Amino acid sequence: MRNIEIKAKVRDLTKLMDKVRSLEPQKCEIIKQEDTFFNTSNGRLKLRKFENGTGELIFYNRPDTEGPKMCSYEKSDVSTENFNSLHSVLERSLGAKTTVKKTRQLFIVDQTRVHVDSVDKLGNFMELEVVLNDNQTPEDGEQIAFNLMTKLGVEKEDLISGAYADLLNKI
């Protein structure tokens, strides 16, 4: 699976939320997540836990650059029954780097997942994930991302590279 992503610091949460809602999203959902990042030799591996005890194991690879960037990823659902044992196996075999706790407001706008995240110890952020169809190029996704950035008032100086885990490791 592929998408084009951007991540940005949010300066004015109320203003951003008003702009997101003006896009008339098809879906709006609040999700509490806890992501544990593990040491890997390439890409990133995280185990995401949801409030109900289920989760996802997610491997992804993307450059640590500002602005729209290509991300390839694979996900596997994790049931409540085996979440803790999987976490333990991964931690013992790979070592855990960082845990990120956040409340995510998820909006779906056409083929884009708009995330408005409140990240413990970091503050508020916004992510765009333009999910590419098989017949779309990365450039198509970048154009969609740039258009949404403009509509949402995302400035170039607000863009960040890397993951929330990287930012947490710097504090």
Quick one: pLDDT at residue 108? 97
Q: What is the CATH number for 65?
A: 2.40.320.10
Model's pTM, two decimal places?
0.88
Q: Secondary structure of 111-132 in the HEC alphabet?
A: CEEEEEEEECCCEEEEEEEEEC
The residue segments making up the domain with residue 97 are 2-169
Over residues 89-117, the mean pLDDT reads 96
- Average pLDDT taken over every residue of the chain: 94
CA distance 106 to 109: 10
| Cβ–Cβ under 8 Å, residues 100 and 34 | yes
Mean per-residue pLDDT, 142-152: 95
pLDDT value, residue 118: 98
147, 149, 152, 158 alpha-carbon torsion, rounded to 10°: -160
What pLDDT shows up at residue 59? 96
Domains: count for the chain = 1
Map residue 170 onto helix, strand or coil. Answer: coil
